[in-house]
Structure 1
């Protein structure tokens, strides 16, 4: 009798397999992802666009931007390294606040709803439309934690964080295009990992233990068992153990195999069970941990106690020194001056906030000029910590001096000396600590030049770094600030980003000040008085000069590209070879100025006033001069190509050698306009010669059909030089 053959072996562990048609599923997964992003993006873009449109077109009363929106705007600007806004606090129509609030809340609601239904059903709306579903490797819908891991960490959080870090420390920072590029690459790399996975699982699926399936085909699940030993028994069919009847009923198989597999349960790690099996090791670990914790607590407590004791001792010693010096100062009030001066300087070195207050109060009461000078030196030695108290004392003394009518009185002279001491102390601190002034507030401070014989003063702060200082409404007339820097890069070492250190001169008085070659990009000079100020070769790019008084200012070769000079006054200014590319001079007053060779290309000059100005050789290419007043101006050699001159007033303007090609002249007033220079042959000025062709305006192809107040002589010139006018057509048809 043949005995059965027994074989021992191991079975392979099997897992779940899903029937996924990769060719059809992959495009649908990508389409679902694009649709999900599109829904979220459009839910924010649409209300934001409506709010922006209302902001630019609404004439309703404006209100401050909602604090939440303002904080969000500031946070986004800081994160993305965007330039600082110069219009704080921002004013918007009420409806703009509403729609921008929706632009913030709607995407959050859409994302929350999509995540909720994804956790409940495994499908967002786009996934449901396209027959795509997310399930766990066990075939169930994913839990909330898995959804957060999959969507918040794996799909978006980690790729965008890596992209931001790479962008932040790359050479392309702070370019927004670089951030978009890095983000796109990282998102594509994260999603592209599915091409390397046998189950087409992206990185976010792997960390969340999920898989994407095709709901149209379903999935097939096989139970999994751990690998275990097996016994195989092979029984030949011709064995005597089988009867003839059994043999006839059996299928023609050569061998009958029986597999006996023991059931082995896989035990999960159990800390409590391990501790029960290893009591000695457990006790040792707990004892060592307890001793370490006790020692750490003891050492930390001792360090804290000693630190506090040292701090109390230092404060006590400083207090004793302060009390001693105050006593000495009071006791020696009638003693020689040298002893009092020594006490004052010792108080300044004490580094006690009470010392600064005491010295400021002493300055307001001191009558000895020598002691006042010593106090000035003491404040300078204290440094920037003394500036807040000095600023308050300076403002108080300035008001007192203005209230005294008799300039020959002793009170006036003594107050002038005290005020001069505060000015000198502030000036010395600016010079000695010029790289530590980014957060200094000197608003409303009086640093005007004084010509009083007893207390003369002139602020001299040339070629210093004064970035970030606040001079709002400060008095700085005739200050000498040549070559000083008032705006520089912040901690990120890149300009035009949110953390830039930018000074504030809003409402400041800078009449006759010397700011030549100064660095002032993006600086706020709103409403500032810059009358007769020297700004030659200064950098005012993107500066805000709305409603500023720039009368008789010197802007020779200055850079004001993209600057905002709306409603500013530049009467009598010298703008020779200045750069105003893309600047905003809407409603600005530019009468009687000299702007020879200046560049106003692409600038907004609507409703501006240029009467009696010399604009020879100015570049107005693509500039907006709608409703501008250019009457009695010299426009010799001016480039008006592609300029908007509709409804502009050019009465009695000299347009010889001007280039008007492609300019929009609809509704412009050309009464008395000179198209060519007239030359005289004798000293009496009566005999004229024909104009030189090189001195004529270039008007070929220019449309004068809607130009107003053209004389017959002007029309003849237009027709002869190739201009377009209805009367030229009539004459051509005769």
Structure 2
């Protein structure tokens, strides 16, 4: 009869035999690599899938865009700041479904990572490790615990390699090339995970750092102790033990094999026999030196404390003395400025200029308040000069005074006397001039100045004139949100610049904000508005010839009757913008987003709109001669009564577009998608007069007609007999063609 011990040994042998077959089929290092790939793929998929769905919803959802979720916006900004992603390309308004799925793209990876770490700490296995029969254990054979698991994964496996790659990228000149960062990260992760190949027990750096081992889960390790585990190699590593063999007894059967039996387990400690020296032992062996060191240390501490205290007391006394002197001077100047006698005018002017030179935080607010109350024109001009000398620190109070004076002007315009209106206008002109001069003199130091809702519009009355002139200046980073800049001149000025790192296209770039600003009739000729925020900005009759508006954010902007000759609108976002009557001659608008834009009566002769998104845009009555619309999206666009002579519409998407009464002479339609396109009254060719002074014409030639070779007109709408005849005669395709 077989004993229980023999059965247990037999079961263990079967289990070990199955594990051995699994190891031979798939080695340990291969399974560990597969587990890493599966773990990364699981987390990546949990973020990429909802993000991709949200991105698709953003581009295709018919719902009205809403502001991006604050949590998503903060996450997006943090990632952009870390990876130096340009701030101007961040999302601001998205579809409601996009907000939902992008929130999921944040929550799901965090949830999965947290659950996997919890599993790893409690059981030693993540889900992929369970699939591949792997387990992470401590030297005692127990699960690593949550703290050790976090240390192993967050610091050892990912933190150190990715952190090292990021530091090398950020501070070795490779910044901001994102491709180099990916390459460095891959190399560092490969080195870290490949470190197990060169270790005798196939332990990677993160395992040695956390004090863990990766073993076969099928071994069934006991909690608290174990006699061996599988390392990176295919053999067991065991603790030291002495064993013996049972001698076969006389009564044993001949066919019964001998079984090994452990008689003694010896656990050896390899700690050093020589203890490291410590401070207390050294002090006991050297009492004299210890006493001398302590004495000198005590004397130095007392002397240092005394000297430091005296220096601090003297500095405080000097500070109080300087503050008292400044306070006395400030009060004396304020008292002098309070004088209202006619003979004190020159003294008051001197006091104003002296107050501007005083290093006192109360000086600027006092001067600004005085400007808002002063009645003497000469003193108003003196206050303006004094505030200009204070530089950028005077802008915030001047902005508030500007808004207050504008409110006063609006109030007095209804029920004020001419004298009161004139006085407020003088104060406002002085305020506006001070702001303009500060921007002119200190422009390179004011990249974060806030001038939102400031009224710097043109003033033209009988005795008060003001025109904002900020030509050839660095205005990058300024906040002009909802400011009134009507009639201002900004020729060749820069509203976009490299940030503190002096590298273009990174997160800290200085980008001006002109959203909602009034720039009616402003002169922005040659201005650099690249990446600038200009949503809902009013640019009616503005001059933007040769201006750089590439990558700018212009949703809902109004360019009606504006001059944009030779302007660069590459990749600009102009959704629902109005360009009615604008001059877009030779404009560079490749990849521009003009979805839902109003472009009626525009002149875009020779403009480049290749690959542009012009879906649902309205071009009625426009002159688009020679324009390039190759590969453009023109679905549901209204091109009725337009002049498209010599335009390039090859490979364009014209589904359901309206080309009614359009002149299509010499237009290239090859490769265009004309499903549902309305050609009612469209002219494919123009008859040419025989002589310039005669009305006799000859039939249109192929050279003067539209290029329709191979174009499928089968699903086009409202094609008349003459149009079909031209299509069939010139290589077009239609069911009625022979």
* SS of structure 1 residue aligned to 2:652: coil
Which residue in the other structure is 2:170 paired with?
A: 168
| Pairing 1:583–2:592 present | yes
Instruction: Tell me if structure 1 keeps the 8 A contact 2:77–2:90.
Output: no
Q: Which has the higher contact order (CA 8 A, sep 6+)?
A: 1
Matched, 1:223 2:226: no
The one-character-per-residue Cα deviations of 1:564-605 (angstroms, maximum 9, x if unpaired) are 111211122111111111111112111112111111011111
Q: Distance in 2 between matches of 1:586 and 1:57?
A: 12
* Contact 2:121-2:144 at 8 Å conserved across structures: yes
Deviation for aligned residue 1:194: 2.3
Range that drifts further, 710-719 or 129-138: 129-138
Aligned CA-pair RMSD: 3.0
Distance 1:454 1:474 in 2: 24
Equivalent position to 2:86, from 83, 87, 96: 83
Q: In 1, distance between residues paired with 2:700 and 2:504?
A: 52
Distance in 2 between residues matched to 1:542 and 1:668, nearest whole Å: 31
Partner of 1:188: 190
Q: Aligned with 1:388: secondary structure?
A: helix
- The residue aligned with 1:16 is none
Instruction: Indicate whether 1:347 and 2:361 are aligned.
Output: no
Query: Do 1:407 and 1:413's aligned partners in 2 also have CA atoms closer than 8 Å?
Result: no
Match of 1:250 in 2: none
* Cα distance between partner residues in 2 of 1:312 and 1:655: 83
CA shift for structure 1 position 24: 1.4
Is the Cα–Cα contact under 8 Å of residues 550 and 571 in structure 1 kept in the other structure?
yes
Does the CA contact (< 8 Å) of 1:86 and 1:524 recur in 2? no
Q: Deviations over 1:244-296 (max 9, x none)?
A: xxxxxxxxxxxxxxxxx9x9983654748626743625555555555555555
Contact 1:163 1:183 in 2 (8 A): yes
Alpha-carbon distance, 1:193 to partner: 2.1
- Out of 356, 366, 370, the position equivalent to 2:364 is 356
Q: Give the 3 Å change call, closer, same or farther, for CA 713–21 of structure 1 in structure 2.
A: closer
2:614 is the counterpart of 1:612: no
The verdict on how the C-alpha distance between 1:422 and 1:163 changes in structure 2, with shifts beyond 3 A counting, is: same
Following superposition, the deviation at residue 645 of structure 1 comes to 1.0
Give 1:501 shift: 0.8
Offset at residue 205 of structure 1 (A): 2.5
Matched residue of 1:647: which SS?
Answer: coil
What CA distance in whole angstroms lies between the structure 1 residues aligned with 2:375 and 2:271?
Answer: 101
**Contact 1:351–1:382, Cα closer than 8 Å, also in 2:** no
Provide the residue aligned with 2:285 in structure 1.
278
Tell me the alpha carbon deviations over residues 695-722 of structure 1, each in whole angstroms, 9 at most, x when there is no partner.
Answer: 1211000011111111111111100001
Matching residue of 2:550: 541
681 and 109 in structure 1: CA distance in 2 versus 1, 3 angstrom threshold: closer
Match of 1:574 in 2: 583
Picking from 16, 35, 39, the partner of 2:38 is 35
Seen in structure 2, the aligned counterparts of structure 1 residues 332 and 36 have a Cα distance that, compared at 3 Å, is same
The structural deviation recorded for 1:104 is 2.6
- For 1:63-91, what per-residue CA distance to the aligned partner results, in whole angstroms no more than 9, with x for missing partners? 65443333222111111111225777646
Alignment of 1:39-78 (within 5 A): 39-53=42-56, 64-78=67-81
The offset of 1:300, in angstroms, is 4.6
Query: Any unmatched runs of 5+ in structure 2?
Result: 1-19, 220-228, 230-235, 243-267
SS in 1 for 2:612: coil
Cα offset for 1:541?
0.6
Q: Does 1:522 align with 2:524?
A: no
Moved more, 446-455 or 505-514: 446-455
Q: State the alpha-carbon separation in 2 of the partners of residues 223 and 546 from structure 1.
A: 75
**Structure 1 CA distance, aligned partners of 2:102 and 2:304?**
52
Query: Is 1:401 equivalent to 2:404 in the alignment?
Result: no
TM-score by length of 2: 0.85
Choose from 196, 199, 211 the match for 1:197.
199
Query: Kindly tell me: are residues 63 and 538 of structure 1, through their superposed partners in 2, closer, same or farther at Cα, counting changes over 3 Å?
Result: closer
Normalising by structure 1, report the TM-score.
0.85
Q: Indicate the SS of the match to 1:404.
A: helix
1:314 to 314, 322, 340: 322
Deviations 1:294-346 (A, max 9, x none): 55555554444444333333322221111010112224643243221110111
Aligned to 1:381: 389
Offset at residue 107 of structure 1 (A) = 2.4
Q: Does 1:326 align with 2:334?
A: yes
CA distance, structure 2, for counterparts of residue 514 and residue 702 of structure 1: 45
Instruction: Specify the alignment match of 1:635 in structure 2.
Output: 644
Q: Find the residue that maps to 1:378 and give its secondary structure.
A: helix
Change over 3 Å in CA distance of 1:171–1:671 after alignment to 2: farther
Map Cα deviations across residues 38-83 of structure 1 (whole Å, 9 max, x no partner): 2222233344444445555556677654433332221111111112
Deviates more, 1:188-197 or 1:589-598: 188-197
Distance in 2 of aligned mates of 1:490 and 1:369 = 41
CA deviation vs aligned residue, 1:337-362 (integer Å, no higher than 9, x gap):
32211101111111323222222222
| In 2, Cα distance between equivalents of 1:385 and 1:147 | 52
Q: 1:543 to 1:124 in 2, by over 3 A?
A: same
Match 1:504 to one of 513, 518, 529: 513
Please tell me whether the aligned partners of residues 65 and 93 of structure 2 are also in contact (alpha carbons under 8 angstroms). no
Task: Give the number of aligned pairs.
Answer: 675
Mapped partners of 1:76, 1:153: distance in 2: 19
- Residue deviations 1:517-564 (CA, integer Å, cap 9, x gap): 100011111111111111111100111222211111111111001111
Residue 463 of structure 2: aligned partner: 454
Deviation per residue, 1:111-150 (Å, 9 max, x gap): 2333333334433332233233334456554455543443
- What SS class does the counterpart of residue 215 from structure 2 fall into? strand
Q: 1:383 to 1:673 in 2, by over 3 A?
A: same
After TM superposition, the structure 1 stretch with the greater mean CA deviation from structure 2, 277-286 or 600-609, is: 277-286
- Give the Cα–Cα distance (whole angstroms) in 1 for the partners of residues 297 and 341 of structure 2: 65
Given that residues 167 and 173 in structure 1 are in contact (C-alpha distance below 8 angstroms), is that contact kept between their aligned partners in structure 2?
Answer: yes
Q: Which residue of 1 aligns with 2:154?
A: 152
